[in-house]
Amino acid sequence: MLGAIRRARRSIKLESYIFADDEIGRQFAAALGERARAGVQVLVHIDAAGSLFWGSRHLEQLLRREGIRLRWFHRWSWRAPWRYNRRNHRKLLVVDGRTGFLGGFNIHRENSRAVYGEARWRDTHVQVGGALARALQTLFDAFWRGRRRRYPFLQTPDGNVLITNHVRRGRLFLRNLFAARFATARGHIWLTTPYFVPDRRTQRGLVAAARRGVDVRVLVPRKNNEHLTQWAGQAAYAALLAAGVKIYEYFPRMLHAKTMVVDGSWSSVGTANIDYRSFFLNYEINLAGTDRALAAALEAEFQDDLRQSEQIASARWARRGWLARILEFIGWLARRWL
C-alpha cells in the first residue's frame, strides 16, 4: 500500500476505520503528504468512532497542512446523536484508479510485523487492478460525495461483486448472498471472522448445511479484544455444534481476517463480520465472486490457520459452567448494539 501511494501520479483515495497516530499511521501520513505536495489529489476519509482513541489532533493537523483533503465520518453531534452509531467500517485504498486494496487492515501498528512483532494481528487484505480497481474508485467517489444510496452493490464485467452496505437493500444483499451460498454448498463452507454473532437466518443456514453433510467450519479468535461480542457469539455455539458445525479457536494472536470460501469455487473477503453490526448497521465493503485463484489462496490461509487452532468439542462445551452461560445471555441481549 505504501509503495502504491509513493508511485501515485494523479490521485490517492483512502478510507479507514482506524488511522492511528503511531509508527504506521505516521508512515502513511508522510507518504500521503509527499504526494500531495507533488500535486497529486489526496482524499482521506476516516471514521470518527473507529479512530476516537487511536488518532490525534496532531495527526489531523499534519494531514491538513500537507494539503490532504481529510473528512471525518459521522463525528458526534448533539443534533443527530444516533448517527454516531452508524460507522464507516470500510478499509479501502485506490491509487490512480488503477490499483486498489481492500480487506481487514486498519492503518495502525497492530497490523505491522516490523513494529508489533510476532503478536501482530492475523489479518487478510487483497490487492486488485483493472475493472475492480475502477469499481472501488466509483464506490469511494460516491461515498465521498454523500451519494451512499446509489450503489448497494456493484458488479464488474468479470463477474465479481463489491457489496457496500450503503442502504437497506445492500445490507440485505450481503446477508442474503451468504445465505444463498450456505443453501447451495455441497462440499464445504470455511468461514473466518473475528466477531461471530450470527443472526437467526445465518444460524439456520449453517445448521442446515451441516445436517446435509457439508463440511462447515467456523474459525474465530481465542484472544478477542471485544469480550461482550465474544460472549454474544458463544450463545449460538451449542445449537451449531449439535448440528455438526465445527468451531475452531485460533490461539497464537488476535484474528481479524474476514473471509469465506464455499466449495473451493466461490469466496468472499472484506470488512464485514458475521454479526448484526456488519449485516444491518455499518457501512462495509466486501469482494465476492468465483475467482478460483483467490478462493485457493484463501483456502490455503484457512488450512494454515487451522493448524494453529483448537477445535471446540461439543461435549466439553455442554459442560461449561453457569457463569459462562450467564455471560453468553448478557452478550446475546446486547447483540444488536455491539
Catalytic (active-site) positions: 89, 91, 96, 256, 258, 263
326 residue type, one letter: I
Nearest to 166 by CA among 298, 316, 15, 320: 15
Look up residue 13 and give its three cell numbers.
Answer: 483515495
Tell me, rounded to whole angstroms, the distance of Cα 180 from its chain centroid: 20
Q: What is the dihedral of CA 113, 118, 120, 121, to 10 degrees?
A: 120
Could you give the CA distance from residue 278 to residue 271 in angstroms, rounded to a whole number? 8
Report the candidate in 104, 205, 34, 247 with the shortest Cα–Cα distance to residue 26: 34
Half-sphere exposure of 193 (CA within 13 A, CB side): 23
Amino acid at 292: R
- How far is C-alpha 108 from the geometric centre of its chain's CA atoms? 15
